[in-house]
Structure formats: structure tokens, C-alpha cells
């Protein structure tokens, strides 16, 4: 039986999108035209999107190539509206999470059990067009509008490479699981897939934003007995207790390196540490606060391009491990469905990450909350 085509398949869809016309200026809700998907592409009706710090960073455009006008957004959930030629793994009506990095299934990274860094679909923040033909699928009165990290979810409809869409359980509430498409999975996977703390062990988490708290949530799920949160903002500690954080260290309260404070608290160092700030000094602290013989430190935070750090090689020779992770080592299409199932099975708690909700028309409020450092995740509803 042929699948029913959606009534809009093959047609240009005019819809609302929040367009960033220039760096740091409020987004403007515009009517954009969204072209049909080409080969290996999928057009998705976005139901809910959320704001992640990466959107804010590129919207401010202080340290990178500014590319405007642009439709930002990459943390979202939606429903497949139509599929382009050659797409076999998705069909109309599927529930999906768009992901800023993809899984082509064919490259050496996709074929490796150890990597999720797909050669074809790895994040590219400078590209504003589709891989298929080097053109945008968005336009306003004939003027092309740039895409962002292959997702551009601040639009009622968007076109995404099929390798950047994870098909998920259609019973999962999209207004909650949308936050699994970026930050929460990044922190969670850094702990569960990379640090792999044992039950009863100690874990230090540097940086208690959404990603750090997701790392703490991973430590809680793994059964760590001590989860030490490290942050310069003491206001974050009360909230952090909900994510399993048992103790709090503010480096500003001490006149010696925080790694020494943690080593003393834990009788020689924590079993695992997870660095979620991107600050090179914090990276050193995270590495030097782990126990010799078995300690593992995992770097999650993204540093500035020119950042370097130094540590004594003996710290490594004394059987400590330093690891890096990208998107929590999850392969988007293969692994994200099971993270959604963790939420559905009540192992993973998502509600506590969601601190604000706004209708799409108020999307700039989400930016205000983040600029002011208020809350963790703001869910933006496309329907309202």
C-alpha cells in the first residue's frame, strides 16, 4: 500500500520563522517560504524548540564568522511532513529530534563503535546552506535566508538532512524530549558513555548550567554516592540538589587551587570528573582533581580556539585518564531513541530542566532569560 503523501508534499510552504537579521538584534517573526526537501532531505514541522547557549553564542557573533540573515535553533522536536528522494529510514508522520550533528551510516566514524563524529554531517557552524546543492531552503521574497548547524528549528517548517534526524517513540511528549536533541544528551552521555562512574563512586562536575546538571543527572542515574558541584555562582547550588549534587565548592571561597580542595575532601581525589565550562583553568582543575590509579576526567565544555592548558606529564603517568567527548558520544540516529526511552521509563527526569515556557511570538524572551542567566531551559511552543 502506498503511504499517503502529505497534502503539502512537493509544494513550497509559507510559514512563520524567527529571523536574525543582524548580530545581537532581537529576532523578527517573518513569513518565510520553505522549499520542498531534495534528495536525502526531510521537511519537518517543528512542534517545540528550546534555546541552547550555542544559539546565543552565534547570535551574538562576537568570536566567529557572522552569517546573517539566519534562522537559528537546533534543540527541538517535530513531525515529518514530507521526505525527499532516497530517504528510506523516515516517513510522513514520524516523530523526530533534529540534531546539529549527524550519522550518515557510511563513513569510518559511523562504522566505528567508538565514534559519533560523522565525516559528512559533523557540526559546521559556518555553513548556511544544504549539502545537496549548496543552496538554502528558506527564502523571503526571493532572498535566501541562511540555515544554522543543519537544523534551523526557529521556524514552523524546516528542511534537514535525513542523517540528522533521530526517529523516536511517538508516545513521548515532544514538549519535554525536545531538550534531548542537544544539551541534556551532551551532559548525560559525557557521564554515562565516557566517564562511566561506578555505583558508590565520587564525581566532580565543573559548571552547573544545563549541561553540567545533565552530567550530574547521569552520575545520579549511575549511582554515584558523592556528586560535587563546582561553580563560581553560589545561587546555582540549591537547584543543583535536584540533580543529585551532594556538595558544592566555589573556587572563589578558597585561596588555593580548587583541585587541592577537592583532593582533600575526597581523600586523594574524585573517581571521575566532568568539565562543562570550556574554561582552560577549569579543565586543568578537573584533570588534577581526579584520583591517581583510576581517575578519569572528561572534557565537555568548548574552549576558545586559542586556549591551551598545561599539566605535568607525571599526572598522566600516575594512571589518570583525560578524555574528550562530542555530543556525549551518542550516535544521533542509533542512540537517541534509547535516551528518550530512559525518560519514558522514568529513569531520566526531564521536567526539572524546564524552567520557562513561551509562545513562539515571544521567542526573544527566551534570549533575555539566557542572557540574564535565569533558569535552565525555555521551551518555545510553535503552536501558540
Give the catalytic positions in this structure. 52-54, 74-75, 104, 107, 110, 118, 122, 182, 377
Cα distance between residue 87 and residue 301, in whole Å: 34
3-state secondary structure of 233: coil
CB 284 within 8 A of CB 297: no
Please name every residue paired with 359 in a beta bridge, in sequence order, or none if there are none: 381
Q: Spell out the residues 6+ positions from residue 264 whose beta carbon is closer than 8 angstroms to its own.
A: none
Cα distance between residue 185 and residue 191, in whole Å: 10
Taking CA atoms, 223 is separated from 131, 203, 244, 283, 322, in Å, by 43, 10, 10, 24, 22
Neighbours of 337 (CB within 10 A): 15
E strand or H helix at 157: strand 157-161
Q: Spell out the residues 6+ positions from residue 313 whose beta carbon is closer than 8 angstroms to its own.
A: none
Cα distance between residue 117 and residue 135, in whole Å: 24
Cα distance between residue 52 and residue 61, in whole Å: 15
Q: How many CA atoms lie within 13 A of 124 on its CB side?
A: 16
Grid cell at residue 375: 533558569
HEC profile of 35-70: CCCCCCEEEEEEEEEECCHHHHHHHHCCCCCCCCCE
User: ∠ CA(352), CA(353), CA(357), 5° rounding?
Assistant: 100
Residue 229: name the closest of 264, 252, 205 by CA.
205
Amino acid at each position: 500500500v502506498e503511504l499517503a503523501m502529505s497534502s503539502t508534499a512537493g509544494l513550497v510552504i509559507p510559514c512563520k520563522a524567527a529571523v536574525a537579521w543582524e548580530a545581537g538584534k532581537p529576532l523578527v517573526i517573518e513569513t518565510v517560504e520553505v522549499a520542498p526537501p531534495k534528495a536525502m532531505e526531510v521537511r519537518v514541522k517543528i512542534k517545540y524548540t528550546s534555546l541552547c547557549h550555542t544559539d546565543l553564542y552565534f547570535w551574538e557573533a562576537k568570536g566567529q564568522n557572522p552569517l546573517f540573515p539566519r534562522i537559528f535553533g537546533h534543540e527541538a522536536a517535530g513531525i515529518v511532513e514530507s521526505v525527499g528522494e532516497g530517504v528510506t529510514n523516515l516517513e510522513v508522520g514520524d516523530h523526530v529530534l533534529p540534531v546539529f550533528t549527524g550519522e550518515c551510516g557510511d563513513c569510518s566514524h559511523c562504522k566505528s563503535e567508538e565514534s559519533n563524529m560523522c565525516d559528512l554531517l559533523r557540526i559546521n557552524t559556518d555553513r548556511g546552506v544544504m549539502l545537496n546543492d549548496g543552496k538554502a531552503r528558506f527564502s523571503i521574497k526571493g532572498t535566501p535566508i541562511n540555515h544554522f548547524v543543519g537544523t534551523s528549528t526557529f521556524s514552523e517548517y524546516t528542511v534537514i538532512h535525513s542523517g540528522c534526524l533521530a526517529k523516536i517513540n511517538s508516545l513521548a511528549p515532544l514538549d519535554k524530549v525536545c531538550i534531548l536533541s542537544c544539551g541534556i544528551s551532551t551532559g548525560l552521555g559525557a557521564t554515562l558513555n565516557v566517564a562511566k562512574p561506578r555505583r558508590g563512586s565520587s564525581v566532580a562536575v565543573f559548571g552547573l548550567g544545563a549541561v553540567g546538571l545533565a552530567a550530574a543527572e547521569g552520575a545520579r542515574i549511575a549511582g554515584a554516592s558523592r556528586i560535587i558541584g563546582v561553580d563560581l555562582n553560589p545561587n546555582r547550588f540549591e537547584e543543583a540538589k535536584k540533580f543529585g549534587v551532594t556538595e558544592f565548592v566555589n573556587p572563589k571561597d578558597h585561596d588555593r587551587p580548587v583541585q587541592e580542595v577537592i583532593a582533600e575532601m575526597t581523600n586523594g581525589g574524585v573517581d571521575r570528573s566532568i568539565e562543562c565550562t570550556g574554561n582552560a583553568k577549569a579543565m586543568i582543575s578537573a584533570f588534577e582533581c581526579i584520583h591517581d590509579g583510576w581517575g578519569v576526567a572528561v572534557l565537555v565544555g568548548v574552549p576558545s580556539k586559542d586556549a591551551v592548558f598545561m599539566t605535568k606529564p607525571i599526572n598522566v603517568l600516575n594512571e589518570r585518564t583525560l578524555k574528550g567527548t562530542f555530543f556525549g558520544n551518542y550516535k544521533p540516529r542509533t542512540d537517541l531513541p534509547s535516551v528518550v526511552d530512559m525518560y519514558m521509563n522514568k529513569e531520566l527526569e526531564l521536567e526539572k530542566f524546564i524552567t520557562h515556557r513561551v509562545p513562539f511570538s515571544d521567542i526573544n524572551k527566551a534570549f533575555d532569560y539566557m542572557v540574564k542567566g535565569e533558569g535552565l531551559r525555555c521551551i518555545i511552543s510553535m503552536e501558540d
